[in-house]
């Protein structure tokens, strides 16, 4: 993303630079979203549970220590609850003690995208599904090796596709 630091040489020029940067950011966001799933809010409401809709489409968060996959150790693949894109595997899952399912890496780097999140007077990095643009959670730089990352993901934003067990 193009980022520039506007300088304040005169009151009017700062506003002009700021508006130009906002326009560039909006254009870049639209370009990124061109290939994404284009469902209406009504279609998403029909497809998702109320909790999934609140988290995936409205960027909500489930309460810590309550999610379906928080303590799951079942082997398998974790898919986006909105579009079924593969995001994580159980091999990257670990218990961080934070109250949400945590992963130290994604299955494929292009499965997610990130955005700066300045909500709640904090600076965080939001994690979104690259296919449907659904909000998954946040990523922090306090995870284990080899990445040092902790993807803190809402259980309602993912579904587990368990590995088949040989009889």
The Cβ of residue 90 has, within 10 Å, a number of other Cβ atoms equal to 17
**Would residue 152 show up in a list of annotated catalytic residues for this protein?**
yes
The CA distance from 20 to 12, in Å, is 12
Catalytic residue among 80, 129, 132, 152: 152
Q: 158, 155, 159: which is closest to 68 by C-alpha?
A: 155
Give the residue numbers marked as catalytic. Answer: 152
């Amino acid at each position: 993303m193009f980022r520039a630091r506007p300088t304040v040489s005169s009151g009017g020029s700062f506003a002009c630079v700021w508006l130009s940067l906002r326009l560039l950011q909006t254009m870049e966001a639209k370009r990124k979203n061109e290939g994404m799933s284009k469902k209406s809010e009504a279609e998403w409401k029909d497809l998702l549970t109320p909790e999934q809709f609140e988290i995936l489409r409205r960027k909500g968060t489930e309460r810590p220590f309550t999610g379906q996959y928080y303590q799951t150790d079942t082997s398998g693949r974790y898919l986006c609850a909105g579009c079924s894109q593969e995001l994580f595997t159980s091999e990257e899952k670990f218990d961080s003690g934070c109250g949400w399912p945590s992963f130290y890496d994604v299955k494929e780097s292009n499965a997610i995208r990130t955005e700066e999140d300045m909500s709640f007077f904090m600076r965080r990095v939001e994690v979104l599904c690259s296919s449907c643009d659904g909000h998954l959670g946040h990523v922090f730089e306090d995870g284990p090796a080899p990445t040092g990352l902790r993807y803190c993901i809402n259980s309602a934003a993912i579904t587990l596709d368990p590995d088949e067990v040989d009889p």
